[in-house]
Amino acid sequence: MAIECSPQELMAVFLARDFVDGEHLQVGIGLPVPEAAVRLAHMMHGPNMELVFLGARMNVAHLEYLPLPAFGWDRRVVRWAESFSDRGHRFDQVKDWSRRVFFVGGIQVDPYGNTNLIGVGDDYRKLKFRGPGSVGTPTLTTHVGRYHIVLNSHTARTFVPRCDFISTIGWNEGGADARKKLGIPGGGPKYCVTPLCVMDFSECEKRMRLRSLHPGVTLLDVQSNTGFELLIPDEVPVTELPTPAELNVLRTRVDRYGLLRGGLNRPPTGVTRK
């Protein structure tokens, strides 16, 4: 019998499989897919992982369930914290962030993984659309061992040839040494995960490359919704579906109210494009 899941559940499971036990997984505000992914990995294969939310550090694999926050700044998620700082992200220990994994979104993303959370328009004083701002993302993406770009939609309006503003530098203008040239120590973006596909970055150019298509999604779907030319391998696999065990933990111990399936208590559906 085919496994049925939402695109967001598929994204969360894909990310969870990338994490290694012992890593520190830090999630910012308003990113439900990464929120679910780090919890799933912690409970499935990472008992020594440390989760970092809202200034709290915790290891909670022993809990029966670790629910997703009900809203962006839901401090109830830190009630099991081993330590807590009311200053939110602590930037005084960046030298220890090589084992830390982070996540960013973006209102614009370019071919080299540079992202824009600032706004859209030519004049910053009169933006056509104002984003949430960069908050702490420039510091975090500069120093962490690696990070992932995770988006709630995949459109040509988001994937653009050039960002109007840059809030986080991915691979700048391309090249394996792009970050080294700028003196940026962190490992840079590894994956860009959307409801349509998974993308990574080519080894030499560090240009965005299609890695896998989600079930039911075609190459044309991705190309027509991307505002620049992606690198396309000769063979593009289908993103591996969650196992029954992964879905069971995700739905009964993490996302008990079906937020990744479209809303509270909404029944699960097959993989569809949104």
Pick the CATH number of 105-238 from 3.20.20.70, 3.20.20.390, 1.10.287.130, 3.40.1080.10: 3.40.1080.10
Burial 139-177 (b: 16+ CB within 10 A, else e): bbbbbbbbbbbbbbebeeebbbeebbbbbbbbbbebeee
* Angle ∠(56,58,62) on CA atoms, nearest 5: 150
SS3 category, 43 = helix
pLDDT band with cut points at 50, 70 and 90 for residue 121: very high
Does residue 65 contact residue 254 with C-beta atoms inside 8 Å? yes
Mean pLDDT, residues 106-125: 95
Asked if residue 221 lies in contact with residue 153, where contact means CB atoms within 8 angstroms, the answer is no
Q: Please state the rounded mean pLDDT for residues 159-176.
A: 97
> 236-260, pLDDT tens digit by residue?
999 999 999 999 999 999 999 899 9
Taking CA atoms, 9 is separated from 18, 85, 214, in Å, by: 15, 31, 11
Q: β-pairing, 197-201 with 189-193?
A: antiparallel
Q: What are phi and psi of 117, to 5 degrees?
A: -115, 10
Can you give the pLDDT at residue 87? 54
Specify the range with the lowest mean pLDDT, choosing from 52-61, 98-107, 171-180, 247-256: 52-61
Q: Report the DSSP beta bridge partners of residue 57.
A: 52, 83
Let me know how many helices (H) and strands (E) the chain has, helices first: 6, 13
> Where residue 274 falls among pLDDT bands split at 50, 70, 90?
very low
Q: Which residues contact 271 (CB under 8 A, 6 or more apart)?
A: 4, 5, 6, 7, 10, 214, 215, 216, 241
Domain range 1-89+243-273, its CATH number among 3.40.1080.10, 3.30.1330.60, 1.10.10.10, 3.40.50.300: 3.40.1080.10
CB atoms within 10 A of CB 1: 4
CATH 3.40.1080.10 in the chain, residue ranges: 1-89+243-273, 105-238
- pLDDT value of residue 24: 92
Question: Inter-axis angle of helices 7-18 and 32-44, to 10 degrees?
Answer: 50
Q: Which pLDDT tens digit goes with each residue over 95-113? A: 678 889 999 999 999 999 9
